[in-house]
Structure 1
Amino acid sequence: MASKSSREPNWNQAEGYLKVFLKGRGVALYAPSDITDFDIGTVGEAPNEKLQLEWVYGYRGRDCRSNLYHLPTGEIIYFIAATVVLYNVEEGMQRHYNQHTDDVKCIAIHPDKVKIATGQVAGHEKKEGKNKRNDVAEIDDHLPHVRIWDSVSLNTLHIIGLGDFERAVCCVSFSKLDGGQQLVCVDDANEHVISVWDISRDKPHKVTETKSSTEPVLAAEFHPYENNQVVMCGKGQISFWTLESGTLTKKQGIYEKMEKPKFVLCLAFAENGDVLSGDSNGNIFVWGRGTNRISHAVNGAHDGGVFSLCVMKDGTILSGGGKDRKVYQFDENYKRTGLETEIPEEFGPVRTLSQGHGNLILVGTTRNSILQGTLDLKLNPIVYGHLDELWGLAPHPSQHQFMSCGSDKHVYLWDSMSHSVVWSKEITDPAHSCCFHPEGNIAVVGTHNARWLVIDLNTHDIITAHTDGNEQIECLQFSPDGKYLAVGSRDNYIYLYQVSDGGTKYTKIGRCSGHSSFITHVDWSEDGQYLVSNSGDYEVLYWTTNCRQVTSPDNVRNVQWATQTCTLGFNVAGIWPEGADGTDVNTCGRTKNHTVIASGDDFGKVNLYKYPCCKPRSSCHSYKAHSSHVTSVNFLFDDSRLITAGGRDMAIMQWELI
């Protein structure tokens, strides 16, 4: 009989602990003393509860273009992370297409205004794959590809290009004159291969492909009034492609006396068939219909680059500026009408302009916000977002609110019922962690450079700031009675403070010293007498409020913990997948009624387990909507919803617990 692997989890009956192995290191997780007979062989069952994605906060405008449209359903459509959002602003409702396996990079609307094409990047090389998956289809959908889907039913109609694209699909566009029977795609790889697909039949097929450019491509569009014509632009180029007898041929745009720009940033098509281009010199050039020559120039239309052009239904043309944040209106003869507006600095430059409902315009910005309104009146923000890596997330102790903070130095207080920003604040340092005082009137934000700030939630003022060590504040946690604050640092120490005056005064007690790697998570006992902490090298240590380490497991094995953010512990042994290397699971959070625990992993997944989850290889429900490592998961105070943050995808997802 083959001997059991020494790296398999094993139960030590005499000592009452479960030993698990992370990156080859054995970690002893002590069980409560009433667990005497632990059957390690049985698999923990999945919970009865499930998650349903209710709301997505954020928009990807920072580095994606032409990704905001209005649909006949009354919804606006855009994307962030691996999710396409269909948002009815008037009704305050969102629907979500989340069949993508990683970041969505581009979107196109079919002439029928129902079908949508979205292209994605190459997915995570599934580390889990080596354990679980031999199914080719499962692995394949992590290749870059395009999905064509129905925006009413949210059903996927076609998956195109599995194995055809190298890095990501950066541009997609449906043909217009033949009713959308073809799709053009551009691969975001070294040679930016452009391909045309026949999608008129049940099984789409590639008509042709050719290398287009070694420089970045920013847009590629089928001409709406010229058959089999595709216009493409990007770094140092605008090119006009013709599809004839299954072959693509290219003509470069000829500038003649005009100054050739470094970047051609955007395209649009006038009603008379002219092609409009906006460039990095601030010029708008008009390319005569059917030619590759400039017939008209609007020099210096913007101070800085022209980031977006939009031809409205009434024939007027809007242009959006990068540096100057201005939106100008032009008439059909390319003359300024005098109607203009400036995007407030907090929302950033214009990324994309689009026709909204009626005479409304939609503006997506480079600071990941969406505004809606008219040029002569006001543009109002309808979507806010973080614009750098996001780790800090905390639920309010008694209201349907939560806080987020990120490397963009922004702190937001959100309302989970109205899905709106209650207030936002810019601080001087990039932020990494946050928590609320149990009374709900104070929040603490930990930064990248060892400072932590105490914010009054009513005035939004910073009432005090402290510095501990000289490294990032990894985690913060108040004791349940609000009398203590634990500050976990990247410098391997936990700093302990006594808290008075309703969370406004802090007196240092000392520091807990004993970890040999950075602190990752801290939890308090329900009576506020003990702390448990995890570190980057998978240690589980226990402490008293005078910063002494508790070395005897028997003293703490029956302690009831007020929260369960520590990813290492007997009650969460089952959230680690088989073969986990210790960094796979970043975060966990438990419901207040102690029945369910959620975890967030490196594969963009949110997982829901029954709590306690002690059995290795426990079953769970897994959900995908993020595209980056999930950095934080938190249930709201009443367990009605789960809020999750996706590190580099900068998205916050709100899930209903059903």
Structure 2
Amino acid sequence: PKKLPQKLPQKPPKSQKTTPETAPKNPKNPQNPKKLPQKLPQKNPKSQKTTPETTPKTTPEIPGDPEPGLLPVSLPVYSQCSQFGSQFTPSAPSPSQCSQYHSQSLPVLPVSLPVYSQCSQSLPVLPVSLPVPPSAPSITPSPSQCSQFLSHYGYRGRDSRSNLHVLGSGELVYFIACVVVLLQLPARRQRHYLRHSDCVRCLAVHPDRLRVATGQAAGVDKDGKPLQPIVYIWDSATLQTLQQIGLGSFERGVGSLAFSTADQGAFLCVVDDSNEHMMSVWDCARGTKQAEVKSTNESVLTVEFNPRDSSSIVSSGKSHVFFWSWSGGALTKKHGIFGVNGTGLWGRAWGWGLGFEIGESGAGQTRAHEGSVFALCRRRDGTVLSGGGKDRRVLSWSPTLELLHEVELPESFGAVRTIAEGPGEELLVGTTRNALLRGTLGSGFTPIVQGHTDEVWGLATHPNCCRFLTCGHDRQLCLWDGREHALAWSLALEDTGLCADFHPGGHVVAVGLLSGRWLVLDTGTRQLLAGGSDGNEQLSVVRFSPDGTFLAIGSHDNFIYIYSVAEGGRKFSRFGRCTGHSSFITHLDWSKDGRFIMSNSGDYEILYWDVAGGCKLLRNRFESRDREWASYTCVLGFHVFGVWPDGSDGTDINSLCRSHHERVVAVADDFCKVHLFQYPCAPSHVYGGHGSHVTNVRFTHDDGHLVSLGGKDTSVFQWRVLPGDSA
């Protein structure tokens, strides 16, 4: 509607149930004349399970006349059926129109939080009231800024190969999410190549050990349109891009890369992730395609040039090995031959033969590993290293296949994914559980990089030092040292960890699980101090009060459970339960005096609670507009509704965090981005690097750093926050 209705529909009495006969009628809307459905199904946030217990239990009510000091904000309604109606995005009320609700005119930002319906046309707007502070702070459009990554925690070893190399500078090069990491040891100093717009999938190092080629997946943009995969060739010393290869030529992504070696790296071989796994050869200097051919419909896992002849290439993958000859712009292949029992492989494409056997020991056979062999590495002294994908062993072989050494990796690190030779006798090993290990065959291996192996959701920063805690779907609870840029300790949980929070003292942490249980652990000894369960629905938020006397637990059963805390976070007793939400709890915050709670739910409610007064729902939200909050992580509220872009889905923002000095707001969204706003919200800075939805963000204790978590990319980023002009 172009104008604000003169009178909003009346809200039915609380004792009267809302039915189709008693429900208020919609204001006339020439663009969307359809009536509201009798019941609007709610949409749950992404990555959350929808069960009968977690779905909203009541139909959303249409508020009546706004209370004094409440600003009406329009939430558009969308359609989910095949005949998708046109989006209805109303204009925000003008300051003059808002004056009838508040004595002072305020700048208004449009908000579009959709409610989903099942009809074929878009529906009119549901007005929602937000409490307006008596004096809105001025908005300064120069928020603080994040520098490039200070540190990156993790390594992509679970589903990629040949992704760990040692450069001529001595740095290790590997990747995770959209970032290529160059790690200097022993200082643990990191540099990052940040040109990629989606997850990096493969990596190759030029024979000069200076230039690097990296390829990425296709991905999609914010509007769901596919992005084109590409390969970048770049200088590892300056981090400058030297050449881009194949924009518009690859499908889905780039799976394998290899530089030629016989001609000093003049050519690059690329295999994409299309159905036919197209193989192409490119001139590195000119960026032009020299040859292309369909390779196979099976997965291709690796490709290499013959080190003595750049016209010969070998590729291998699921159930195949192909030997390719490149001549006159054409690629022709010959098949490798497997033995009768699949135990042997022979190829004579280049005038020489390679044979090996995997299976039971017998005449002429060498029993190497149980299960698959994921890695082979030829050392400078001529010996060969092999890594097992099931037995977690690294074996050293003589040129005559005599076993020289063997070492078994600890089970917690997973199987061997790749092996690289370091200086002297040192070896680097990447594992399937996203760890990088360093050591020798004689002394064993120790981790230098560790990370999560599945989606990461829970995040809490220490109140007194630069440490933070993460948990996720891999059932690992990890404490990270933000100054040393390393894992302090990790602990296996009984179930998926979804949320966490430190006690104000810093020596105790609470963790919420998917099963509905909550745990309290000593961060020093890692001992379990307390725990409990108030149902079987997953927990979405746990939060200590500022003075540490209460613990609030938000559940998917629509309740907030309050516990009294004693003995410095070591003793807990049930205090009460906040009842009133009609959908699962998503976020909550405590007031600075520790008496009140503000909470959000899955159906976009904003409710306020008097905890000290007996967990009572404050129905007059006018009383809460002046209240100061110790933290601000709720994604709905007057001070933060400007973070929502026009036309956004109500689940597009996964996490929000206000800095401790109350000048900056960080936002994690579903489009792989981290946003930094001035508080209250103004135009933002936007930062990429994650390769999937960003699940959580938190500032460290001194606001000097920001930590962000990735979903499917399993990444943990630590950013340095630079003050803006007004910060």
TM-score, normalized by the shorter chain, greater than 0.5: yes
1:360 deviates by 1.0
Q: Which of the residues 566, 570, 575 maps onto 1:500? A: 566
Map Cα deviations across residues 453-488 of structure 1 (whole Å, 9 max, x no partner): 111112101122211221111111111001111111
The whole-number CA distance in structure 1 between the counterparts of 2:527 and 2:462 is 18
The answer for the alignment partner of 1:73 in structure 2 is: 169
Kept in 2: contact 1:117–1:149 (CA 8 A) = yes
Residue 149 of structure 2 corresponds to 53
Q: Matches of 1:380 and 1:192 in 2, distance apart? A: 37
What's the counterpart of residue 382 of structure 1? 448
1:249 to 2:335 alignment: no
Could you tell me which amino acid in structure 1 is paired with residue 680 of structure 2?
Answer: P
Is residue 2:648 matched to residue 1:648?
no
Deviation at 1:516, TM superposition (A): 2.0
Distance 2:602 2:271 in 1: 41
1:21 aligns with 2:112: yes
The answer to whether structure 1 residue 290 and structure 2 residue 350 are counterparts is: yes
2:135 to 34, 53, 65: 34
1:8 aligns to what? 91
Name the counterpart of 1:210: 293
How far the C-alpha of 1:288 sits from its partner, in A, is 5.9
Match of 1:169 in 2: 254
Secondary structure at the residue paired with 2:334?
A: strand
Q: How far 1:123 sits from its partner (Å)?
A: 2.1
Deviation at 1:286, TM superposition (A): 7.0
Instruction: Look up the SS of the partner of 1:170 in the other structure.
Output: strand
Q: State the distance in 2 between where 1:248 and 1:144 align.
A: 23
Determine if contact 2:565/2:573 at 8 Å carries over to the other structure: yes
Paired residue type of 1:101? S
| 3-state secondary structure, aligned to 2:583 | coil
Q: Say if 2:112 and 2:645, in contact at 8 Å, map to a contact too.
A: no
Contact in 1 for aligned 2:144/2:664 (Cα 8 Å): no
| TM-score (ref. length: structure 2) | 0.81
Deviates more, 1:108-117 or 1:294-303: 294-303
1:634 paired residue among 679, 693, 698: 698
> Given that residues 595 and 611 in structure 1 are in contact (C-alpha distance below 8 angstroms), is that contact kept between their aligned partners in structure 2?
yes
Question: What SS is found at the alignment partner of 1:346?
Answer: helix
Counterparts of 2:535 and 2:703, CA distance in 1: 35
Note the C-alpha offset of 1:227.
2.5
- Deviation string, structure 1 residues 540-599 (Cα, Å, up to 9, x no partner): 111110221111122100011111111111111221122211211111112111111111
CA pair 547-353 structure 1, distance change in 2 beyond 3 A: same
Q: Quick one: distance in 1 between partners of 2:389 and 2:355?
A: 25
Q: Distance in 1 between matches of 2:458 and 2:187?
A: 30
Q: Please tell me the residue identity of whatever aligns with 1:34.
A: S
Aligned partner (choices 490, 494, 503) of residue 428 of structure 1: 494
Is contact 1:254–1:293 with CA below 8 Å preserved after alignment? no
Residue of structure 2 in register with 1:230 after alignment: 313
Q: Aligned pair 1:538/2:623, yes or no?
A: no
What secondary structure sits across from 1:50 in the alignment? Answer: strand
- Helix, strand or coil at the partner of 1:555: helix
Q: Does 1:548 align with 2:616?
A: yes
In 2, Cα distance between the equivalents of 1:585 and 1:577? 10
**Alignment TM-score, normalising by the size of structure 1:** 0.89
Match of 1:276 in 2: none
Which of 604, 629, 634 lines up with 1:566 in the alignment? 634
Q: Would you say the 8 A contact 2:323–2:349 is kept in 1?
A: no
Aligned to 2:377: 310
Q: Describe the SS at the equivalent of 2:130.
A: strand
CA RMSD of superposed structures (Å): 2.1
Q: Deviations over 1:111-168 (max 9, x none)?
A: 12111111111123322x8xxxxxxxxx88x321111111111111222222222211
Q: Which runs of 5+ in 1 are unaligned?
A: 130-138, 262-282
Query: Aligned partners of 1:635 and 1:35: how far apart in 2?
Result: 24
In the TM superposition, residue 259 of structure 1 has moved relative to its aligned partner by 2.9
- AA aligned to 1:174 is F
Indicate the percent of aligned positions where both proteins have the same amino acid.
Answer: 45
- Deviation by residue 1:77-110 (Cα, 9 ceiling, x = unmatched): 1001111100002122000111111111100001
Equivalents in 2 of 1:325, 1:301: separation in Å?
12
Q: Aligned partners of 2:433 and 2:384: how far apart in 1?
A: 24
> 1:15 Cα deviation (Å)?
2.9
**Structure 1 295/20 Cα, relative in aligned 2: closer, same or farther at 3 Å?**
closer
Q: 1:30 to 1:2 in 2, by over 3 A?
A: closer
Change (3 A) 1:61 1:295: closer
Residue number among 198, 220, 229 corresponding to 2:283 in the alignment: 198
The one-letter code sitting in structure 1 at the alignment partner of 2:275 is N
2:663 matched to 1:586? no
**Counterpart AA for 1:322:** G
- Aligned pair partner of 2:342 in 251, 260, 282: 260
Alignment of 1:219-618 (within 5 A): 219-255=302-338, 257=339, 259-260=341-342, 287=347, 290-291=350-351, 293-295=353-355, 297=357, 299-337=366-404, 339-545=405-611, 546-613=614-681, 618=682
Shift of 1:226: 2.3
Report Cα offsets for 1:480-528 as digits up to 9, x if no partner. 0011111111222211111111111221222222222221111100001
Higher strand content, 1 or 2: 1
CA contact (8 A) 1:600 1:606 kept: yes
CA distance in 2: counterparts of 1:222 and 1:551, whole angstroms:
72
Aligned equivalents of 1:532, 1:219: Cα separation in 2: 53
- Give 2:28's aligned residue: none
Correspondence for 1:266: none
Q: Which runs of 5+ in 2 are unaligned?
A: 5-87, 116-125, 358-364, 723-727
Q: 3-state SS of the aligned residue for 2:468? A: strand
Does residue 187 (structure 1) correspond to residue 187 (structure 2)? The answer is no
Count residues with an aligned counterpart: 612
Which amino acid is 1:572 matched to?
A: V
User: 1:14/1:51 Cα in 2 relative to 1: closer, same or farther (>3 Å)?
Assistant: farther
Q: 1:251, 1:49 → 2: CA distance?
A: 55
SS in 2 for 1:570: coil
Displacement of 1:420: 1.5
Contact 1:240 1:292 in 2 (8 A): no
Name the CA distance, whole Å, in 1 between partners of 2:128 and 2:149: 35
What is the CA–CA distance in structure 1 between the aligned matches of 2:298 and 2:713, rounded to whole Å?
Answer: 25
Q: Which residue of 1 aligns with 2:65?
A: none
One-letter amino acid matched to 2:618: V
Structure 1 counterpart of 2:132, one-letter code:
A
User: Could you report, residue by residue, the CA deviation over 1:385-420 in whole angstroms, capped at 9, with x for unpaired residues?
Assistant: 100110011100111111011111100111100011
* Cα deviations by residue, 1:362-392 (Å, 9 ceiling, x for unpaired): 1000000000011011211000110011001
Distance between the aligned counterparts of 2:481 and 2:220, measured in 1? 32
Larger radius of gyration: 2
CA distance in 2, matches of 1:341, 1:335: 15
Partner of 2:192: 96
